[in-house]
């Protein structure tokens, strides 16, 4: 992965835990619901430009439906890193300046916004272990025997 190229197009560094996650899991889908947007080698610029130009978030912002959150590249703006097939969106809030300290922000499919003072990997771990509950997400997620589509299940 050419993180330098990706981050140059994006206009900011990304959290180091996400670097490690993306390097370990070219595909990551939990219980056929939550999908992490992992850049692929050779598509770094495309991933970065899609993250910068989040049309859905921009539309919500223009409609005043972001509860004070703003799209990146505004200071403290949101960058998308995952979504659910139920319509939930997962972002980093790009404040404070250190990407490793960025909290996770979730917009549920019900329109509720929640902020969690953890990084992406800690957030996913908490959701998987059911120590973090996201309002609006299905109560039975993850299932008692969650399936994780990951490295050994790579799809192209």
Classify the phi-psi angles of 26: left when phi > 0, otherwise alpha if psi is within -120 to 50, otherwise beta: alpha
pLDDT in tens, the chain (156 residues): 899 999 999 999 999 999 999 998 888 898 889 999 999 899 999 999 998 889 999 999 999 999 999 999 999 999 999 999 989 999 999 999 999 999 999 999 889 999 999 999 999 999 988 899 998 888 788 888 878 776 555 444
Give the CB-side neighbour count of residue 75, counting CA atoms within 13 A.
2
pLDDT at 144: 83
* CA-wise closest residue to 48 among 12, 13, 9: 9
For the question of whether the overall pTM of this predicted structure is more than 0.75, the answer is: yes
How far, in whole angstroms, is CA 23 from its chain's centroid?
15
């Amino acid at each position: 992965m050419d993180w330098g190229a990706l981050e140059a197009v994006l206009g900011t560094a990304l959290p180091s835990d996400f670097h490690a996650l993306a390097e370990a899991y070219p595909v990551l889908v939990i219980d056929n619901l939550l999908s992490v947007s992992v850049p692929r080698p050779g598509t770094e610029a495309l991933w970065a430009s899609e993250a910068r130009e989040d049309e859905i978030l921009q539309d919500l912002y223009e409609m005043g439906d972001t509860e004070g959150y703003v799209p990146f590249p505004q200071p403290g703006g949101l960058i998308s890193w995952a979504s659910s097939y139920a319509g939930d969106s997962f972002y980093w809030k790009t404040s404070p300046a250190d990407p490793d300290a960025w909290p996770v922000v979730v917009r549920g499919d019900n329109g509720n916004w929640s902020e969690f003072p953890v990084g992406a990997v800690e957030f996913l771990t908490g959701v998987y272990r059911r120590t973090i509950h996201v309002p609006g997400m299905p109560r039975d997620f993850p299932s008692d025997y969650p399936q994780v589509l990951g490295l050994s299940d790579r799809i192209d």
